Structure 1
Amino acid sequence: MRKRAIFLSATVLLFILPGIYLTNLAPNTEIAWVVAILLLTVFLFTFEIVPIDVAAISVMVFLGFTTLIAPMMGLDEGLININNLFNGFASNAVMSIIAVMIIGAGLDKTGVMNIVAKQIVRVGGTTETRIIPLISGTVGIVSCFMQNVGAAALFLPVVKRIGVRAGIPISRLLMPMGFCAILGGTLTLVGSSPLILLNDLILNANNQLPPDQQMESFGLFAVTPVGLAMLLVGIAYFVLFGRLVLPKGKLQEESNGSSEYFQKTYGINCVIREVHVPKGSPLIGQYLKDFE
């Protein structure tokens, strides 16, 4: 609690002090406050005092709130017109990123990744040099249609399950997976947030340029040749040099399910058994003590 209070105090100081200091250096007061708010946003995103989505919405609301406290900030009017406060949600880039995150959540809920894990183990066996390219290639393909972070998070339980079954330390599988998730995002336009933003900036710039000077926007697969080459090189690197560069981790033991849970939680050493009672059995509706 005390540490959180210190962080909050530092946040306030990081916002107020630069705002006061930059007022004397910046060409005008508006620029000074914009830089101060930018520093505050970077601070909140870096240290995650509050969740990132809460920080983003709070900064947006505060920009609109400056309309009410403009005289106190030394401004003639707010930093942004409140009528344009939510225009960012009309951006193609913002909506594309949100849609990709929804797709990732849907894949996680459907259980598709469990099927993927079984297929990788069936094809790759227990050989590290075969499992690494399978995992890396699969993550790369998935991440080209969703955000890199989402693809990596989606494959975390899959990689853990594969590592246990194949007898490979999970740390030796996570690094190739993470890098190939990043490289796989360059296969399509929607797989990488910077490419989405860049394409949106090109479209906005074309609206202000004459027809003969307009730039061609990216198509969905315009970056695929470059991204595919990067992904293949990344997979080949980990296959050829993985034994030298990948960390030596400890092998995780497979969980025993409910038995392990009861042992860790309640200190009870027991074995869980399941019994199938067929239809019409005289045991239906009775308690265990009735027929022991």
Structure 2
Amino acid sequence: MSIFCGFFWMRRSTTARGLPTHATCPALKKNLIAAVVFLVVGLLLANLVPTIEIAWVSTILLLAIYLFAFEVVGVDVAAVTAMVLLGLTSLLAPLIGLQQGLVPTTDLFNGFSSNAVISIIGAGLDKTGIMSQVAAFILRISGSTEGRIIPLLSSTVGFISSFMQNVGAAALFLPVVSRISARIGLPLSRLLMPMGFCAILGGTITMVSSSPLILLNDLIHTSNQSLQAGQQMETFSLFAVTPIGLALVITGIVYFILAGKFVLPANKAEHTEGHDTASYFSETYGLQASEVYEVVVPAESPLVGVSVDELEQRWKVRIIAVEKGDGLRLGADSIDRGLGIEAGTVLGLLGTEEYFTVFSEESSINRRNDLETFANSLATAKAGIAEVVIPPSSNLVGKTARDVWMRKTFGLSLLAIHRGEEIISCRTGGVRQTPFRPGDTLVVHTAWTDLPIWSRIATLW
């Protein structure tokens, strides 16, 4: 029966992906052969083990291994399936030869208290964008300096770990630390160690997450049962250790502030990556260093009613992100050159300081000192400048960036074309009106997730 269920889920998962039948045949045969092998092994074990309980445990374990190893279903479905089967043994115990269920129903969901589940919750919260907002909040308060970020981040994690397991608190804040590192270019290695140690020290603030103290309380309670009333020891209350715990956390934070520059690890490559990239494009293509700016269009700005195309042609800056209150526009199928700019629109611009200065003076926009709306989506870990090549077999040959609506179709904002010894850019003019030739190297700004779109479509366009 378990093999039949596995086959059912396998068919469901493959057909749901819309794969052609001939593509699934080898995988189907492999899974069927594996299912037969696991079935034979299960029958052999059932005859060899001493009790019926061990036989059923072995069967469920083999089924779980089969589902995980051959990815018949998702790992989450496989895990829940094993849990449900263990629960059903209590309901069907008389029918399957058991006196009672393999696992008490009260213990079925104990696995959800694992630290691994906390890590999954952290990843889930990161997907919702909450962790991005937490990172932005910390950066607004602390700025972009290491000396202010470390104490604020460490104290936050220390406080949270006082009311939950310190491993879970650290796992919960991993996405936050990663985003902060990506946004300000601070080495991740210099943020993780203070956060980890303060998560450990924060566990001493209360009795909730201090396993040794909880164990000590149990030992005191057990010892008191054999002692006379006058000799019994008082157990620790919830906040009995708070003064000591706070002193430890504060000491840890002060230590990392004062000695962090000497003891915290630092990867030199993490510091020089941005500089090396800018130097590379400057030396190779003669491009001046471009910066990403975030601006807000006020109601009195002459940009109101102007299209994206008109703005870019007049001021020689590239719009790479737009927020008009109806959702973030970034990447493929998002920014249309005919898109109109309205009052209150937030624009993410890419350009040199020279062109941006002229643009800001003439357009009366409000420039933000740091990225806020686009802090996450335009972080270096998610977007940046790349090089792509026009293959000889591509149907893009002979067409211009405007002809193919390059930004809307591929999510690529064209900055320059490198053709032999010639560099065509915004400074020279005509970069988007220049027909592509085989072997042209295009310098573009893109979200990293859009690059696979180019690799799939560029040769077929």
Moved more, 1-10 or 153-162: 1-10
2:163 counterpart of 1:145: yes
Moved over 6 A (4+): 1-16, 38-49, 104-107, 214-218, 252-255, 267-272
Amino acid at match of 1:153: L
Q: Work out whether residues 202 and 245 of structure 2, in 8 Å CA contact, stay in contact via their aligned partners in 1.
A: yes
Q: CA deviation at 1:13?
A: 7.4
Deviation at 1:140, TM superposition (A): 1.6
Relative contact order (alpha carbons < 8 A, sep ≥ 6): 1 or 2 greater? 1
Is 1:118–2:119 an aligned residue pair?
A: no
- Paired position in structure 1 for 2:343: 275
Separation in 2, partners of 1:213, 1:18: 51
Higher helix share: 1
1:176–1:238 CA contact under 8 A, matched in 2: no
> What residue ranges of structure 1 are gaps of 5+ in the alignment?
278-292
Looking at structure 1, the residues matched to 27 and 169 of structure 2 have their Cα atoms a distance apart, in angstroms, of: 28
Are the structure 2 counterparts of residues 255 and 55 from structure 1 closer, same or farther at C-alpha, using a change threshold of 3 Å? farther
**Number of residues of Structure 1 aligned to a counterpart in Structure 2:** 253
SS of the residue aligned with 2:239? coil
Q: Does 1:188 align with 2:188?
A: no
Deviation at 1:62, TM superposition (A): 0.8
- Match of residue 61 from structure 1: 84
Residue aligning to 1:164: 183
SS at match of 1:134: helix
Q: Which amino acid aligns with 1:60?
A: M
Q: Which runs of 5+ in 2 are unaligned?
A: 1-13, 15-23, 228-232, 275-290, 296-318, 322-328, 346-461
Percent of pairs with identical residues:
35
For 2:350, the equivalent position in structure 1 comes to none
The CA distance in 2 between the partners of 1:55 and 1:216, in whole Å, is 47
In structure 1, the residue matched to 2:238 is 220
1:43-62 mapped onto 2 (5 Å cutoff) = 50=74, 57-62=80-85
Match of 1:286 in 2: none
Whether the aligned pair in 1 keeps the contact of 2:131 and 2:175 (CA below 8 Å) is no
Bigger CA drift: 143-152 or 41-50? 41-50
2:101 pairs with one of 76, 79, 92: 79
- Name the one with the larger strand percent: 2
Structure showing greater Rg = 2
Q: What are the within-5 Å matches in structure 2 for residues 220-259 of structure 1?
A: 220-221=238-239, 224=242, 231=249, 235=253, 236=255, 240=259, 246-248=265-267, 250=270, 259=319
Does residue 135 in structure 1 map to residue 157 in structure 2?
A: no
What is the CA deviation profile of residues 73-124 of structure 1, one whole-angstrom value per residue up to 9, with x for unaligned ones?
Answer: 6x3434348xx524667x8x96xx99xx79x979949956643332222xxx
RMSD: 6.1
**CA distance in 1 between partners of 2:130 and 2:237 (Å):** 28
The AA in structure 2 aligned to 1:172 is: R
Deviation at 1:168, TM superposition (A): 1.8
Relative to structure 1, the CA distance from residue 176 to residue 80 in structure 2 (aligned partners, 3 Å threshold; closer, same or farther) is same
The whole-number CA distance in structure 1 between the counterparts of 2:212 and 2:150 is 27
Q: What residue in structure 2 maps to residue 173 of structure 1?
A: 191
